[in-house]
Amino acid sequence: MLIATTLAILVVMIMALVRAFLGPTIYDRILAVNTFGTKTVLLIAVIGFLFGRPDFLDIALVYALINFISVIGVLRYFEYNDEVAAHEYNEKAETQKES
Amino acid sequence: MRHTVSMFVVLSLIWLLNSGFFTGLHLSLGLLSVVLVVWVAYRMDVVDHESAPVHLTLRLPSYYAWLMKELVLSNIDVTKRIWLGKKSISPSMAVLPLSQRTDMGRVIYANSITLTPGTVAIDLNSDTVVVHSLTAGGIEDLRSGEMDRRVSRLEKQK
Amino acid sequence: MDTVVNIVSGACLLLGSFLIFSGGLGLLRFPDFYTRMHAAGITETLATGLILLGLMLLAGWGIVLAKLMMILLFILITSPTASHALAKSAQHGKLAPQLAEPEDQRSR
């Protein structure tokens, strides 16, 4: 069962990466990276059990905290820098709707 | 004073659970770091009812139990809609009133909205909250105000 | 007793895997950023909770259980904060959501 869970988490991580590559806005990418990060925490915890090394949980704990802080940090940076990108995306959506 | 004590107890618990070593050296090092953190927090003047909410301790468990139930129900709903596809969702956005009077209550309310999948609190003011929901039904559920009432009851003093 | 615990933990892990996969699928299928955020929400609440619960049942009493509970607590506290920060930042960046019907009380 642990192997099945590991595989499911890996598949979801690939899905998050696909979303991060597709975008289309910077916020989609940050969301995907955030999802990827929380899945990494789970993956480390499950793999720790799979290989019988519960010490991995410490790494998972630290990773959970780092992931949260990095997402907030990146958002802090883009909150004041990405009005242009979102604006362009909105305009593109408008023209697509009209045509 | 009781805020400082409760912060000390919580930090010591976290340290003990994370360490797993119970020798004299480790325990004294842990005590040293916990005292240091409490002292720094005290100097920064952040030890108050927000960083150590002792007055909520008794009422929190029943609220958490209710929130867990809501969490499971809304998870099932959103999962169903993911498999049904785009046709089944009706994204909507609304400005909802909130009745909490303290910042703590507002934050608990907004975080509970965001924690239940299907609804996300986007903006929070002193008497309104902007909510984006996956379905129109999510907004209606919040508008009926059960979560709002429960959080208001939670923050009530004494 | 042991087999019962193993079966329950296996069921939790399997259900969690299914939910996490659904969340990933929603992340790919939903039409715009705000709706994708809801899909990411289910991978971070119930799915994470179920998988960690399954591991907790395998772990038995001890420091490992305490650490798993701490991980669950951290994720449950940080994930709504991160989602709220994302949504607010997208709103701040003037990213318009696709809505089902024209709304009556738009904030701005």
Q: Which residues of C touch A93 (CB under 8 A)?
A: 96, 98
With pLDDT > 90 as the criterion, what percentage of chain C qualifies? 6
C chain contacts of residue A72, beta-carbon cutoff 8 Å: 81-82, 85
How many other CB atoms are there within 10 angstroms of residue C41's CB atom?
29
B138 vs C11, higher pLDDT? C11
What pLDDT does residue B56 have? Answer: 73
Chains touching B (at least 3 CB pairs under 8 A) are C
pLDDT given for residue B116 in this prediction: 86
Interchain contact, C107 vs B120, CB within 8 Å: no
Residues of chain B above pLDDT 90, percent: 6
What's the DSSP call for residue C44?
I
- For B73, the domain range is 59-155
User: Containing domain of residue C61, as a range?
Assistant: 2-92
The residue among B38, B32, B28 whose CA lies nearest residue B5 is B38
Question: Which pLDDT tens digit goes with each residue over C19-59?
Answer: 999 888 888 888 888 888 888 888 888 889 999 999 888 88
The verdict on a CB contact (< 8 Å) between B93 and C103 is: yes
Chain C residues close to A54, C-beta within 8 Å = 59, 64, 67
Query: Is residue C102 one of the residues assigned to a domain?
Result: no
- Distance to chain C for B80, nearest Cα, Å: 9
Q: Which residues of B111-149 are buried (b: 16+ CB within 10 A; e: fewer)?
A: bbbbbbbbbbbbbbeeeebbbbbbbeebbebbeeeebbe
Residues B81 and B132 in one domain: yes
| Cβ separation A64–C25 shorter than 8 A | no
- Inspect the interface and report whether the beta carbons of B93 and C31 lie closer than 8 Å: no
Report how many Cβ contacts below 8 Å link chain B to chain C.
Answer: 113
Q: Which of C:4-63 have CB within 8 Å of A?
A: 9-10, 13-14, 16-18, 20-21, 23-25, 27-28, 33, 36-37, 40, 43-44, 48, 51-52, 54-55, 58-59
The pair of three-digit structure tokens given for residue C80, joined into one six-digit string: 């709504």
Q: How many Å apart are CA B81 and CA A4, to the nearest integer?
A: 24
Lowest mean per-residue pLDDT among B10-14, B63-67, B148-152: B148-152
pLDDT above 80: residue A88: no
Interface of A with C in 72-91 (CB under 8 A): 72, 75, 78-79, 82-83, 85-87, 89-90
| Beta-carbon separation of C45 and B75 below 8 A | yes
**How many structural domains are present in chain B?**
2
- Of C56, C81, C46, nearest in space to B67 by CA: C46
| CA proximity to C100, closest of B59, A55, B40, B81 | B81
CA angle A82, A88, A89 (to 5 degrees): 95
For residue range B67-106, list pLDDT tens digits in order: 888 888 888 888 888 888 777 888 888 888 888 778 888 8
Distance between CA atoms of residues C52 and C45, nearest Å: 11
Q: What is the model's pLDDT at position C102?
A: 52
pLDDT at position A80: 66
Integer CA distances (angstroms), B35 to B18, B23, C70, in order: 17, 18, 21
Residues B22 and B94 in one domain: no
Number of domains in chain C: 1
Q: How many domains does the structure of chain A reveal? A: 1
Per the model's pLDDT, the better-predicted residue between A43 and C59 turns out to be A43
Per-residue pLDDT, C105:
45
Q: Do residue B34 and residue B86 come from a single domain?
A: no
Residues B91 and B39 in one domain: no
Inter-chain residue contact C100 with B89, CB threshold 8 Å: yes
- Does B136 lie in the same domain as B86? yes
- Give the residue among A69, A79, B130 at the shortest CA–CA distance from C89: A79
Say if C107 falls within a structural domain.
no
- Whether residues B39 and B63 share a domain: the answer is no
Do residues B103 and B138 share a domain?
yes
Min distance B18 CA to chain C CA atoms (Å): 7
Check whether the bond before A24 is cis (ω within 30° of 0): yes
Per-residue model confidence (pLDDT) at position A9: 92
Of B101, B111, B108, B152, nearest to B131 by C-alpha is: B111
Within 13 Å, how many C-alpha atoms sit on residue B42's CB side? 14
Tell me the C-alpha distance between A49 and C53, whole Å.
13
* Separation of alpha carbons A28 and A40, rounded Å: 18
Q: What angle do CA C59, C63, C64 make, to 5 degrees?
A: 35
Q: Which residue has the tokens 């038995």?
A: C60
pLDDT at C104 over 80: no
Rounded Cα distance between C25 and C12, Å, is: 20
Distance CA C38, CA A19 (A): 14
- Interatomic CA distance for residues C77 and C93, integer angstroms: 25
Q: Are B36 and B73 in the same domain? A: no
* Residue B115 pLDDT > 90: no
Instruction: Clarify whether residues B33 and B108 are in a common domain.
Output: no
**pLDDT greater than 50 at residue C106:** no
Range of the domain at A81: 2-98
- Provide the pLDDT for residue B23: 84
Percent of chain A with pLDDT over 90: 29
Q: Is C99 close to B86, i.e. CB distance below 8 A?
A: no
Token match 């598949």: residue? Answer: A11
Chain A and chain C share a number of CB contacts under 8 A equal to 145
- Residue A37 pLDDT more than 50? yes
* CB contact residues (below 8 A), chain C span 63-102, against chain A: 64, 67-68, 70-71, 74-75, 78-79, 81-82, 85-86, 88-90, 92-96, 98
8 Å CB contact of A16 and C55: no
What value does the mean pLDDT of chain A take?
A: 83
**Cβ-Cβ contacts under 8 Å, C42 against chain B:** 75, 78-79, 82, 117
B128: three-class secondary structure by DSSP: strand
B85 and B123 part of one domain: yes
Give helix then strand counts, H and E, for chain A: 4, 0
Please give the Cα distance from A21 to A29 (Å, whole number). Answer: 7
List pLDDT tens digits, range B35-49: 999 999 888 887 777
